[in-house]
A and B are shown apart, each in its own frame.
Chain A
Amino acid sequence: MNAYVPILVVMTIAVVFSLLFLVLSKLLGPSRPDPEKLTAYECGVPTRGSTNLRFYVRFYVVALLFLLFDLEAAFLIPWAVSFRSFVADGVGYSMFAAMTVFFGLLVVGLVYEWRKGALEWE
């Protein structure tokens, strides 16, 4: 348990100091708001329109598709990098089979989306 005492100390310092500075700036800092200061910061140019924009719902499907490929890459790359050591350990075939199953399931998902028309931008 003693090994964790330094972490506790660091956490305490972090909490105490951040709260301290928040409170100090609130107490000591001058507060003279005007409309210019209160507007949202948008790269320095005058703000235009509302921030409550509507997003096209189709982006949602694209985001899901992205997730599919993103996960695939996140799994595939470490697997590919360590494949030589799998072969050296004699588990090359079973690791290949495992990745094929994973890949196959993802491809089924993609084919399904395709057939259902989720990839059409209409």
Chain B
Amino acid sequence: MSWSDVSLIAPMVWLVLGGVATLLVDAFVPRKGQGHLLITSLVFVVLALASLGRGSDGTEAFGGALAIDSFANFFHLTFLVVALMSLAVGSVVFAREEKPVAEFYPLILFSTVGMMVMASALDLVTLFVGLETMSIALYVLSASQRHSLFSSEAGFKYLLLGAFSSAFLLFGISLIYGATQTFHLPTIFERAHAAGGISMYAVYMGGWALILVGLAFKVALVPFHMWTPDVYEGAPSPITGFMAAGVKAASFAVLLRVVWTASDGFFSEAAPLMAGLAILTMSFGNVVALAQTNLKRMLAYSAIAHAGYIFVGLCATSLRVGDPAAKGILFYLFSYALMNVGTFALVSLVSGRDGERCDLDGFRGLARRNPLVSATMAILLLSLAGVPPTAGFWGKFYIFEAAMREGHTTLVVIALLNSAVAMYYYLRVIVVMYMREPEGEAYDGHSPQILATIAAAAVAILWIGLFPGPVSELARLGVTALAHSF
């Protein structure tokens, strides 16, 4: 460890300092509201954003434990944007509680650090530490609505199944270590490609299979998705948005590195298995989402379906510099983060304090009561559905086009059919907002922070949809860096 290592991970250091600072501010500055905590945490997120972009491609910090390259930086940017939006939204939602949960701010910051470590991890142990840092904070956050039984249930379920999946991951890591005598991913890649290959081949393959299972739990691939609907529904909406976007991005970052490391061994032989997982995940998520009347549950199943689309990209990824499928995944994850956090912010705005209006009826006639909010919601939903002038369209386009070029025609056809099915349930919400009469009490969710967040998300989605170039270029640089580290 040297000073240059520490300066390379400056964004993470800022976030850890921010977490500590908000804890201490909360303990020593007794105030009624939470404005001071929000400002403290936002300052540190902005400091972290300002210190992004260190290192160049191939830079390794802490003796090969972390990679600080364009790939990591792309994801770090995504996580920081997600954290920024979630902090703004959460500050409103948690302030509505009877006993406000001040731990929300440090926990979001610590969880983001975990995600950043995951995206940077070049080493299986570092990867595990990052994953646990992210997850443990999230277990607490999902249970943080103290008066709600659903929230406690969500936290507990997430903890149990998360611990279960960590066990798979750890066992896989130990098998890989047994077979290769190293944790360092590029070294594993070298040894697997050296003459003679790996002697304990079965152990090596089993290790990757278990690691895949552990990560599949985190991104909620069918059949490892059982926890997702309950946890996404029970957790407070801002937390759901944070974990759906952040955990997915972090786990796919890890999956990309893992798949590239083991591309010639496990993942080329397991290609049919991977394609099966993708098909199962997309189809199951979309079909079950059709039947949901609770908006949060519907979005949970749609999150499963989105994991399936991204996984199509993972099936089509090739070990080439500037791999278009991997670029598509990065682009997709960034735009998905924006629309997902935006949508859940909107849900927490409309659903009121206890989330009692999370069912579709709560959105009846929203267009008449508040045209601006419902227009934003329409943009976010159309982007989730992948309709052209939005960022969601380009994410799907890049991934499907790359998969097509790699010859995965069946997968792409099934993915397109699924997108058509998904159109139905996204449009249904828009129909309810625009074509039904409002009923019950008037809409009362006015909060400048949430309105600013969803407006920013909607504008960004439209902007990226009209001009996908800059983000796409950043994603391409990220993939080049990924190729560089092997």
Contact = CB atoms under 8 A, between A and B. Distances in A.
Interface stretch (A14-22, A33-41, A49-57, A111-119): A111-119
Nearest to A108: B20
Contact of B20 (A91, A95, A105, A115): A105
Interface string A88-117: 000100110110000001001001100110
B23 A108 contact: yes
B1 interface: yes
B1 A98 contact: yes
Nearest to B30: A115
Contacts of B27: 111-112, 115-116
| Secondary structure type dominating chain A contacts | helix
B202 interface: yes
A97 B26 CA distance: 27
| Secondary structure type dominating chain B contacts | helix
A64 to B, nearest CB: 12
Contacts of A97: 1
Interface in B1-37: 1-2, 16, 20, 23-24, 26-28
B2 A112 contact: no
Contacts, number: 22
A43 interface: no
Interface in A1-20: 1
Contact of B202 (A1, A115, A116): A1
B167 interface: no
B200 interface: yes
* Central interface residue in B16, B23, B202, by most chain A CB within 10 Å: B23
Interface residues of A, number: 12
Given A97-B1, A98-B1, A111 B202 contact: no
B7 to A, nearest CB: 13
Given A112-B27, A115-B28, A116-B27, A1 B20 contact: no
A105 B197 CA distance: 43
Interface string B22-63: 011011100000000000000000000000000000000000
B200 A1 contact: yes
Contacts of B23: 108, 112
B337 to A, nearest CB: 28
Interface residues of B, number: 11
A94 B200 contact: no
A10 to B, nearest CB: 18
A108 B1 contact: no
Contacts of A112: 23-24, 26-27
A66 B16 CA distance: 23
A29 B43 CA distance: 73
Given A1-B200, A1-B202, A108 B24 contact: yes
A112 B202 CA distance: 49
Nearest to A98: B1
Contacts of B200: 1
Interface in B184-200: 200
Nearest to B200: A1
Interface string B176-214: 000000000000000000000000101000000000000
A91 B23 CA distance: 32
A112 B28 CA distance: 9
Interface string B122-165: 00000000000000000000000000000000000000000000
Nearest to A113: B27
A15 B411 CA distance: 45
Contacts of A95: 1
Contacts of A115: 27-28
Nearest to B20: A108
A111 B20 CA distance: 11
Nearest to A105: B20
A8 to B, nearest CB: 13
Contacts of B202: 1
A112 B27 CA distance: 6
A98 B3 CA distance: 11
Given A1-B200, A115-B27, A115-B28, A94 B2 contact: yes
Q: Which 4 A-B pairs have the closest CB atoms?
A: A115-B27, A94-B1, A112-B23, A108-B20
Interface of A: 1, 91, 94-95, 97-98, 105, 108, 111-112, 115-116
Given A98-B1, A115-B28, 6 more contacts: A1-B202, A91-B1, A94-B1, A94-B2, A95-B1, A115-B27
21 contacts: A1-B200, A1-B202, A91-B1, A94-B1, A94-B2, A95-B1, A97-B1, A98-B1, A105-B16, A105-B20, A108-B20, A108-B23, A111-B24, A111-B27, A112-B23, A112-B24, A112-B26, A112-B27, A115-B27, A115-B28, A116-B27
